[in-house]
Amino acid sequence: MARKIPAGPRVCIGAVLLAAAAVWPGQAAESAAVPDFAGVWARMTFGAEPPESGRAGIVNLMHRASDGAYDGGKLAGDYNDPLLKPVAAAQVKRLGDISKTGDAFPDPSNQCAPQQPPYILRQQEIQLVQGKDEVTILYMLDHHVRHVRLNARHPAKVTPSWMGDSIGHYEGGTLVVDTVGIKVGPMSMADQYGSPQSEAMHVTERYRMVDNETMQKAVVQNEKDFGRTDGPNGNGVFYDPDYKGPGLQLAYTVEDPGVFTAPWSQVVTYRKAGSEWQEQICAENQTEYYAEKITNVPRAERRDF
């Protein structure tokens, strides 16, 4: 059963620099102690958790008969969700109808296209490299990298780019990342169900450490909802079985008035990875390397020449 949501390659060097307190516009002076996010962080599913409060994103209409978990092989988003504006709902329905047949619809992952925020936040293994003036976020699939400028401002006129313009600051033990100016391309999607996005999209991320009990509870529920994998998953990711420390938790909020009727939020909780950094390269092509099949791609109604 789906849970009811309230309406409304580089291996990390791992060096964490302690920064002096800095004043962020509109904020009180930050704590001098910067949280340590060093290491490789992993999760076993692509699904995100609902926020503690407020509106979550759309959910999958398809469930596995074996255990009732969301069916990751059939990504049919709830196109009737009032969160979606009509054009967005039509796209989610069209792509979901393809997925229900057992064929994957073209998405940034299987087409080896740029995975942009917030779609990229589904990836299963990440590293945060913290520096004095920048935090670099590395993702395991396709060499994706994001650069977050610390204690900076967005330009008065942002030139859209695949990863957008990201600025960040620390609020005590939380890294807050604000991203705008995300370029829209043929494969741009706000979630794994194919919800579109516009250049008005605004994504806010909050990274923090959580205690082991909180982490374990979130991970167990997430794997129940989206399907547990025993041992390494298809991407070779697995947890460190001996790790007893805290986890890394990301809460993010998406605003895009061109696509959604309201802001929505999700949570992603990571454990320490037991695997080495999974460097996986993907060149633009139609082959789903993990399924040994060809993905259908959009085709023009008529020739251009």
CB atoms within 10 A of CB 293: 12
Residue 242 is assigned to a structural domain of this protein: yes
Number of structural domains found in the chain: 1
> Does residue 133 belong to any structural domain of this protein?
yes
Whether 4 is covered by a domain: the verdict is no
Domain of 199 in residue numbering reads as 41-294
Q: Which region among 13-17, 124-128, 193-197, 259-263 has the lowest average model confidence (pLDDT)? A: 13-17
d(CA 62, CA 59): 9
pLDDT in tens, 116-167: 999 999 999 999 999 999 999 999 888 899 999 999 999 999 999 999 999 9
Q: Where are the alpha helices (DSSP H) in the chain?
A: 86-100, 212-226
| 69-85 pLDDT, tens digit each | 999 999 999 999 999 99
Q: What is the pTM of this model?
A: 0.82
Could you tell me if residue 125 is inside a domain?
A: yes
In a domain, 270, yes or no: yes
Residue 139 lies in a domain: yes
**Cβ contacts of 208 within 8 Å, gap of 6 or more:** 35, 173, 174, 175, 248, 249
Give residue 32's pLDDT: 56
Would strands 134-139 and 145-150 be described as parallel, antiparallel, or unpaired?
A: antiparallel
Confirm whether 28 is domain-assigned.
no
pLDDT at 241: 84
Residue 217 CB coordination number (10 Å): 14
Q: Is residue 47 part of a domain?
A: yes
Is 50 exceeded by the pLDDT of residue 20? no
